Amino acid sequence: MKFCRFNETRIGVVRGALVHDVTACLDALPALRYPYPLGDALITNLDTLRPLMEKLADETKGVAIDSVQLFSPVANPTKIIATPSNYSAHAAEARADPEIAVYQGERARSIQEQGLFLKSASSLVGAAQGVTPRFPDRRTDHEVELAAVFGTITAGISEEDALSCVAGYAIGLDMSVRGKEDRSYRKSADSYSVLGPWIVTPDELGDPEVLDFWLRVNGEMRQESNTGLMLVKLRRQIAWASSVYTIYPGDILMTGTCQGVGPVKPGDEMKAWIQGIGEMDVRLNDYV
């Protein structure tokens, strides 16, 4: 199943080029009382709700996916976990580019030395909101990444079992202003995390570790790779993350970007694609 959030408050099941409004499924969510549990209520209950979502999609006439505004398919993650320098060709270009290398210092560090990093949950937007760059005099780059969305509370999971806690996959854009500050500062501005266009459940996607993906800007190919080229594989990233952070439903893992990162500016149109997920169009808004 592919499911999305659209027009801010609507939940949709995506079939082909159509989105079927299944928002009525939210009536089946358990009532919550303060203090609310951490995480995203829809993702928490996805397994229970899925038959109802499929049924409602069968019964509802779809509308063209192009006619709706796609929001982040996760409304309330507690955190976005991200892996740095996870493709060797990107690590090499980062070392060779003074504006990127400035952060790493003189010595190129391994992923293990750098550690995972966190992006703020409030930086998250969907495709329709677009990215609003914050630093007019500096370089904001695109980074296209496979994103895993977690479905269950998970701590200390093994590499072998790691994929069992994934609710689905989406395209992630880890937007980054280049500079010397910590990653959490440079990558957590409002709209610097894009998730979408929808979430594809694991049964529909197949093996997430062999997916082609690319990103174009204004039609020009910028990034192109395959998730099989990750230095730290997806299962290991999840086991690693869960050994440090308890993972909550709706939490997102951005798995690192490939070579070809580069600057974008207001008016640019990014188009990202991941095999088995689909295409996502994201515009660069004016500076704030």
Measured from the CB atom, the residue of 21 and 174 that comes closer to Mn ion is: 174
Chain residue at closest Cβ approach to Mn ion: 174
Residues in binding contact with Mn ion, number by CB under 5 A: 3
d(CA 2, CA 14) in angstroms, rounded, equals 5
Token pair recorded at residue 232: 């730290």
Q: How far is the CB of 256 from Mn ion (least distance, A)?
A: 6
Measured from the CB atom, the residue of 242 and 257 that comes closer to Mn ion is: 257
d(CA 133, CA 100) in angstroms, rounded, equals 17
Q: How far is the CB of 174 from Mn ion (least distance, A)?
A: 3
Measured from the CB atom, the residue of 154 and 257 that comes closer to Mn ion is: 257
Stretch 89-128: interaction string toward Mn ion, x if CB under 5 A: ----------------------------------------
The SS3 call for residue 188 is coil
Contact yes or no for 238/135 (Cβ under 8 A): no
Contact yes or no for 90/232 (Cβ under 8 A): no
Token pair recorded at residue 126: 């969907």
Q: How far is the CB of 111 from Mn ion (least distance, A)?
A: 11
Q: Which of residues 174-193 bind Mn ion (CB under 5 A)?
A: 174
d(CA 86, CA 226) in angstroms, rounded, equals 12
Q: How far is the CB of 143 from Mn ion (least distance, A)?
A: 4
The one-letter amino acid code at 62 reads G
Measured from the CB atom, the residue of 120 and 152 that comes closer to Mn ion is: 120
Measured from the CB atom, the residue of 6 and 117 that comes closer to Mn ion is: 117
Measured from the CB atom, the residue of 12 and 84 that comes closer to Mn ion is: 84
Q: How far is the CB of 83 from Mn ion (least distance, A)?
A: 7
Task: Choose among 259, 263, 254, 260: nearest CA to 284.
Answer: 263
Task: Choose among 202, 204, 255: nearest CA to 226.
Answer: 255
Helix (H) or strand (E) holding 70: strand 70-71
Measured from the CB atom, the residue of 4 and 173 that comes closer to Mn ion is: 173
Q: How far is the CB of 218 from Mn ion (least distance, A)?
A: 21
Q: Is residue 143 within the footprint of Mn ion (CB under 5 A)?
A: yes
Buried b (16+ CB within 10 A) or exposed e, 200-221: bbbeebeebbebebbbbbeeee
Task: Choose among 119, 42, 35: nearest CA to 78.
Answer: 119
Stretch 55-84: interaction string toward Mn ion, x if CB under 5 A: ------------------------------
Q: How far is the CB of 94 from Mn ion (least distance, A)?
A: 10
Which span sits near Mn ion by CB under 5 A: 34-42, 65-73, 157-165, 255-263? 255-263
Token pair recorded at residue 176: 């980054």
Q: Is residue 257 within the footprint of Mn ion (CB under 5 A)?
A: yes
Q: Is residue 21 within the footprint of Mn ion (CB under 5 A)?
A: no
Residue 88: which residues within 8 A CB-CB, separation 6 or more?
Answer: 229, 231
Which span sits near Mn ion by CB under 5 A: 113-121, 161-169, 171-179, 230-238? 171-179
d(CA 99, CA 6) in angstroms, rounded, equals 37
Residues in contact with Mn ion by CB under 5 A are 143, 174, 257
